Chain A
Amino acid sequence: DGGITQSPKYLFRKEGQNVTLSCEQNLNHDAMYWYRQDPGQGLRLIYYSQIVNDFQKGDIAEGYSVSREKKESFPLTVTSAQKNPTAFYLCASSPGQVVYGYTFGSGTRLTVV
């Protein structure tokens, strides 16, 4: 079955550490996105990529970095510069050429300890 896989499901980080969240899709989608969701809040866009080797900042990119070396993969690194990283992180993808709803992954819950 085609889908989008995020790993790990739960992640704990010590303050001052960088961590990388994985996102892989086998839907042959061109576009991929990272969102942050805080308790009781909506979705805020961190970064997005419309094509391999290209990505753009979203609304809350500070303290995060991404890469898009392969069409299938769009990892997100939460750096030590992110002051409040504890949140639920969602990866999504879409065909890109036609406006259509996103397919979301199941999310990664990051907790700073």
Chain B
Amino acid sequence: GENVEQHPSTLSVQEGDSAVIKCTYSDSASNYFPWYKQELGKGPQLIIDIRSNVGEKKDQRIAVTLNKTAKHFSLHITETQPEDSAVYFCAGHYGQNFVFGPGTRLSVLP
């Protein structure tokens, strides 16, 4: 079936520490996996994505890794800042649409 699991559901870190969010996907997902950041009262914004022909992609303080064998991909945020506090969603592409994970609420404590 089409399913994306995401852990943890909430995550609190001290400012400057790293945060890691992990998603697993079921068999039929295709080869593109985006991550979104949603701030309170706003729509989600695409922050990074990865295609299955690479294992890792970085963009400044954020990175995504993909393990195709284990069917999971992870978001890594280094040197966290208070403005990183938000809800983060992963997604897998199935057929014509994306299936989203349930979200992780990240709180960065000053």
Contact = CB atoms under 8 A, between A and B. Distances in A.
Q: Is the interface of B mostly helix, strand, loop or mixed?
A: strand
A41 B44 contact: no
A48 B45 contact: no
Contact of B42 (A42, A43, A100, A107): A107
A41 B102 contact: yes
Given A45-B97, A48-B96, A107-B41, A102 B102 contact: no
Nearest to A50: B96
Contacts of B91: 101
Contacts of A8: none
Contacts of A105: 43
Contacts of A103: 46
Q: How large is the interface on B (under 10, 10 to 19, 20 to 34, 35 or more residues)?
A: 20 to 34
Q: Is the interface of A mostly helix, strand, loop or mixed?
A: strand
A100 B102 contact: no
Interface of B: 30-32, 34, 36, 41-46, 49, 89, 91, 93, 96-98, 100-103
28 contacts: A6-B43, A31-B96, A33-B97, A40-B103, A41-B103, A42-B89, A42-B100, A42-B101, A42-B103, A43-B44, A43-B89, A43-B100, A45-B97, A50-B96, A56-B96, A90-B44, A99-B32, A100-B32, A100-B49, A101-B34, A101-B46, A101-B49, A102-B46, A104-B36, A105-B43, A106-B42, A106-B43, A107-B41
Interface of A: 6, 31, 33, 40-43, 45, 48, 50, 56, 58, 90, 92, 99-107, 109
